[in-house]
Amino acid sequence: MPRPAEAVSDRARIETAFAGVPLVLDARGAAYLPDADTLIVSDLHLEKGSYFAARGVPVPVCDTRETLRRLADVIAAYNPEQVVCLGDSFHDRSARGRLCTDDFGELTRIAGQVPDWVWVSGNHDPEPPDGLTGRGAARLEIAGLTHPKL
């Protein structure tokens, strides 16, 4: 069973099991399934800030860049064979159009470093935006766990 990078503090993660499947819950907002060498994230809500800013809601608009930085950090710590984004990766269906070139490039770079990147449909993003690295899925099973219904 692959071990997560030692750079991750033991206080920043909990090693447990769910339905008999070994699982590492990482405080950075990810779950790692060592037996499947899969990192799972959800609800990234990329471009949430720009969505609300366009409607006059005073929120930080740099949320996408920070989310991508944290995503890159947790991926670097585990170096997984697969990353699964469980949905709501984008705040709304128009988020791709608001994603700046630099952020889209960074997302492409991050996803391109992982052999298998899966975008699972969410209620905010039923289909992954065009031009993204990876594959879309409406339903996914990993190590006996099924999403969207566990």
- Is residue 47 within 8 A of residue 95, CB to CB? The reply is yes
| Residue ranges of domains in the chain | 22-147
Look over the chain and give the mean of its residue pLDDT values, rounded to a whole number.
Answer: 79
3-state secondary structure at position 52: helix
The candidate with the shortest Cα–Cα distance to 4, out of 103, 70, 75, is 75
pLDDT at 112 over 90: yes
pLDDT at 5: 47
Using one digit for the tens of pLDDT, what is the confidence trace for 63-94?
888 889 999 999 999 999 999 988 677 766 66
pLDDT at 148 over 70: no
pTM score: 0.79
Mean pLDDT throughout 112-136?
78
pLDDT at 129 over 70: no
- Is residue 104 within 8 A of residue 113, CB to CB? The reply is no
pLDDT at 1: 41
Using one digit for the tens of pLDDT, what is the confidence trace for 22-37?
999 999 999 999 999 9
pLDDT band at 2 (very low <50, low <70, confident <90, very high): very low
pLDDT at 147 over 60: no
* CA–CA separation, 81 and 117 (whole Å): 9
- Is residue 15 within 8 A of residue 22, CB to CB? The reply is yes
